[in-house]
């Protein structure tokens, strides 16, 4: 029997948090997902928050069927670091949060900034205006020196195929990278995802920003995937810091954080690697 993946959902009951929840539910119908609702007390009392969370849990239990868990965890006001510690020690497959909270300030909100800085696991940032689609278009951006991390996507291989994903892989390369190295990289990626539509772009540093703009404009992307510590990770941190509240992207941002040993285990097809799997109906 396939085990469920555990997904945390951080909510402040804002419209953006609700949009993030709808994205989780859309995928929970088809995949083995347990939902862990996380709330940090701010304006509501503990009693008020618990009532809203209990109602939300009951609603979710009715909306998803099968052997999936829905759990609730409340953190006292000001206990942000305790919340971060919980996320890191619980090893959630993915931590989901809305791009904007109740305050909708310019740049990164303080809570999202804290998550981006300290959460060690995967992070999915969902804007309010995102579009849920059965057919997904992804931009996967990384530096050539980090190309081994592309194997992480094998953990969500079932999701990529089920949603007929179209992959646009942007690789930042230096002039020193040989044509042979690029050809070998292309072969590796195509072998990982046979049958999926996949466009691989090798771009030198000065052309990367323009390539991203073109992809966003022409491809109507659903997801952008970056890797923690990579050049593109820093690029999107900078974008979020400079973003005004009037700028509302539609693309969801997945920030992957994984250890080298996990990449090695995936490449060697070792048992015990947690993957996102389709439900058995």
For β-strands 123-126 and 252-256, DSSP reports them as antiparallel
Q: Into how many domains does the chain fold?
A: 2
Hey, CA dihedral for 45, 46, 49, 52, is it positive or negative?
negative
User: Is residue 109 situated within a structural domain?
Assistant: yes
User: Is residue 208 situated within a structural domain?
Assistant: yes
The answer to whether residues 154 and 216 belong to one domain is yes
The answer to whether residues 33 and 84 belong to one domain is yes
The answer to whether residues 115 and 147 belong to one domain is no
The answer to whether residues 98 and 162 belong to one domain is no
Q: pLDDT value at position 106?
A: 38
User: Is residue 252 situated within a structural domain?
Assistant: no
The answer to whether residues 18 and 65 belong to one domain is yes
Single out the residue in 126, 148, 174 at which a domain terminates. 126
Residue 154, both tokens:
């094998």
The answer to whether residues 114 and 166 belong to one domain is no
User: Is residue 192 situated within a structural domain?
Assistant: yes
User: Is residue 66 situated within a structural domain?
Assistant: yes
The answer to whether residues 158 and 209 belong to one domain is yes
The answer to whether residues 39 and 108 belong to one domain is yes
Q: pLDDT value at position 29?
A: 82
Predicted TM-score (pTM) of the model is: 0.90
Residue that the structure tokens 């990626």 belong to:
189
Q: Comparing C-alpha atoms, which of 34, 177, 40 is closest to residue 93?
A: 34
Count the neighbouring beta carbons within 10 Å of the beta carbon of residue 82: 11
The answer to whether residues 9 and 121 belong to one domain is yes
Beta-carbon contacts of residue 256 (< 8 Å; ≥ 6 apart): 122, 149, 152, 225, 226, 227, 228
- Containing structural domain, residue 170: 137-230+259-267
Residue 2, both tokens:
């396939």
CATH value at residue 168: 3.40.50
The answer to whether residues 198 and 84 belong to one domain is no
User: Is residue 132 situated within a structural domain?
Assistant: no
User: Is residue 187 situated within a structural domain?
Assistant: yes
Q: Comparing C-alpha atoms, which of 75, 112, 102, 109 is closest to residue 90?
A: 75
Q: pLDDT value at position 246?
A: 56
The answer to whether residues 68 and 104 belong to one domain is yes
Q: In a structure prediction context, what are the per-residue pLDDT tens digits for the chain, which is 281 residues long?
A: 567 899 999 999 988 899 999 989 888 888 889 999 999 999 899 999 999 999 999 999 888 766 688 999 999 998 999 999 999 999 999 999 988 655 554 334 678 888 988 999 999 999 888 877 778 999 999 999 999 999 999 999 999 999 999 999 999 998 778 888 899 999 999 999 999 999 999 999 999 989 998 998 898 899 999 999 999 998 888 776 665 555 567 889 999 998 899 999 999 988 889 999 888 76
Single out the residue in 79, 100, 126 at which a domain terminates. 126
User: Is residue 212 situated within a structural domain?
Assistant: yes
Single out the residue in 103, 126, 149 at which a domain terminates. 126
């Amino acid at each position: 029997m396939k085990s469920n993946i555990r997904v945390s959902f951080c909510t402040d009951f804002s419209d953006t948090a609700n949009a993030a929840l709808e994205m989780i539910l859309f995928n929970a119908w088809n995949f083995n997902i347990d939902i862990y609702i996380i709330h940090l007390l701010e304006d509501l009392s503990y009693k008020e928050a618990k009532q809203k969370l209990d109602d939300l849990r009951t609603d979710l239990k009715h909306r998803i069927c099968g052997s999936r868990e829905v759990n609730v965890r409340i953190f006292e006001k000001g206990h942000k670091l305790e919340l971060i510690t919980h996320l890191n020690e619980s090893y959630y497959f993915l931590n989901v949060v809305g791009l904007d909270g109740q305050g909708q300030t310019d740049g990164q909100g303080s809570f999202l900034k804290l998550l981006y800085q300290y959460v060690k696991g995967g992070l999915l940032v969902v804007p309010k205006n995102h579009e849920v689609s059965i057919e997904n278009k992804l931009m996967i951006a990384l530096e050539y020196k980090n190309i081994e991390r592309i194997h992480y996507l094998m953990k969500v291989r079932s999701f990529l195929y089920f949603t007929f994903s179209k992959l646009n892989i942007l690789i930042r390369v230096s002039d020193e990278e040989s044509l042979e190295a690029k050809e070998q990289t292309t072969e590796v990626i195509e072998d990982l995802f046979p049958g999926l539509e996949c466009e691989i772009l090798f771009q030198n540093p000065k052309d990367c920003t323009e390539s991203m703009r073109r992809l966003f404009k022409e491809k109507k992307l659903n997801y952008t995937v970056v890797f923690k510590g990579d050049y593109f990770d820093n690029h999107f941190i900078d974008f979020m810091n400079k973003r005004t509240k009037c700028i509302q992207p539609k693309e969801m941002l997945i920030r992957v954080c994984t250890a080298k040993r996990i990449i090695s285990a995936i490449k060697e097809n070792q048992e015990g690697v947690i993957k996102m799997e389709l439900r058995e109906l």
